[in-house]
């Protein structure tokens, strides 16, 4: 998150033995923070232009799903943890469990949405 970004929403249901759950956070940027954040897109190629790809949109509920101007970053954690051809490998949305984080930067609203799923 950019320095100074103000967290305006936060909910984390992780807990229990395995730590499964969902994290939801929304950060609001001021004009200076927005400008600095957007400058990072020139060198950080992990961020893609909106809209978010169709499979990920199935997990998106609410106004943030309609963001059209901005960027998104999708990170699938399972390849970091499991070897290829493991039972947890394969196409991300065809697995029995999900471990990913989706960041959506809505330029018009000056907001960054964070959605982390761990099942």
Comparing CA positions, the residue from 39, 66, 41 lying closest to residue 52 is 66
In this structure, what DSSP letter does residue 108 have? T
> One digit per residue, pLDDT tens: the chain, 119 residues?
888 999 999 998 877 666 788 889 999 999 999 999 999 988 988 999 999 887 787 777 887 888 999 999 988 866 655 656 665 566 666 666 667 789 999 999 999 999 988 87
Q: What pLDDT does 13 receive?
A: 87
Q: What pLDDT does 53 receive?
A: 82
Q: Is residue 113 within 8 Å of 66, Cβ to Cβ?
A: no
Pair of tokens at residue 92: 């991300």
pTM: 0.81
Q: What pLDDT does 76 receive?
A: 80
Local structure of 8: helix, strand or coil: strand
Q: What pLDDT does 84 receive?
A: 61
Annotated domain spans of the chain: 6-118
d(CA 89, CA 80): 10
Q: What pLDDT does 54 receive?
A: 79
């Amino acid at each position: 998150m950019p320095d100074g970004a103000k967290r305006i929403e936060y909910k984390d249901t992780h807990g229990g033995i395995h730590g499964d759950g969902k994290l939801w956070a929304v950060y609001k940027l001021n004009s200076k923070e927005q400008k600095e954040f957007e400058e990072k897109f020139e060198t950080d190629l992990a961020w893609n232009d909106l809209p978010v790809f169709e499979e990920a949109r199935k997990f998106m509920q609410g106004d943030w799903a309609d963001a059209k101007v901005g960027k998104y970053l999708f990170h699938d954690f399972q390849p970091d943890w499991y070897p290829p051809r493991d039972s947890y490998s394969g196409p991300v949305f065809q697995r029995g469990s999900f471990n990913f984080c989706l960041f959506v930067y809505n330029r018009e609203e000056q907001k960054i949405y964070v959605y982390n799923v761990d099942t």
